[in-house]
């Protein structure tokens, strides 16, 4: 069972989200899924997850997730990964920068009857903002805002 859930989590990040596959996301998520970490501006639940997936598809080309580790414990799967893409479209109000990004993330998903019923995420949104020029880099490191 745990191996099957690991496969669902991998497929979600390696195929469904990069392809912007709303039907695929509906197939692996419970209709009443609780997303504890929705992106700013996204509604809660499955509709918000589908909307956020659309934002990523619209904003980034060359989308892919690099999976570093997948851990399963009972009905819960943890995925440590990095999202890679190039900012070639409008993303949450930000005009395209054509910058490549590497956005570190950890996703924790609890499953019930083979479908995701809860999701938590820890994302390096500050790091993504720095890569897109929204926030300055740390002092003394060069690049935008750096010395």
Phi first, then psi: give them for residue 2, nearest 5 degrees.
Answer: -60, -40
Nearest by Cα to 45 from 105, 116, 104: 116
Positive or negative, the CA dihedral 64, 123, 147, 145 is positive
Give per-residue pLDDT as tens, 18-58. Answer: 999 999 999 999 999 999 988 888 888 999 999 999 999 99
Band (pLDDT 50/70/90 cuts) for residue 108 is very high
Distance (Å, rounded) from C-alpha 83 to C-alpha 65?
4
Mean pLDDT of 66-77: 97
Quick one: DSSP state of residue 13? I
Domains of the chain in start order, with CATH, are 2-131 (3.10.450.50)
Mean pLDDT of 105-115: 96
Predicted pLDDT at 140:
62
């Amino acid at each position: 069972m745990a191996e099957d859930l690991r496969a669902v989590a991998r497929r979600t990040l390696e195929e469904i989200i990069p392809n912007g596959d709303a039907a695929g996301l509906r197939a692996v998520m419970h209709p009443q899924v609780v997303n504890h970490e929705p992106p700013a501006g996204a509604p809660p639940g499955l509709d918000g997850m589908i909307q956020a997936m659309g934002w990523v598809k619209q904003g980034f080309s060359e989308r892919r997730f690099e999976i570093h580790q997948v851990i399963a414990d009972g009905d819960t799967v943890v995925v440590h990964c990095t999202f890679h893409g190039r900012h070639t479209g409008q993303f949450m109000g930000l005009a395209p920068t054509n910058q490549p990004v590497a956005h570190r993330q950890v996703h924790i998903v609890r499953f019930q009857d083979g479908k995701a019923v809860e999701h938590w995420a820890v994302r390096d949104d500050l790091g993504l903002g720095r890569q897109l020029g929204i926030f300055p880099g740390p002092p003394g490191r060069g690049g935008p805002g750096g010395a």
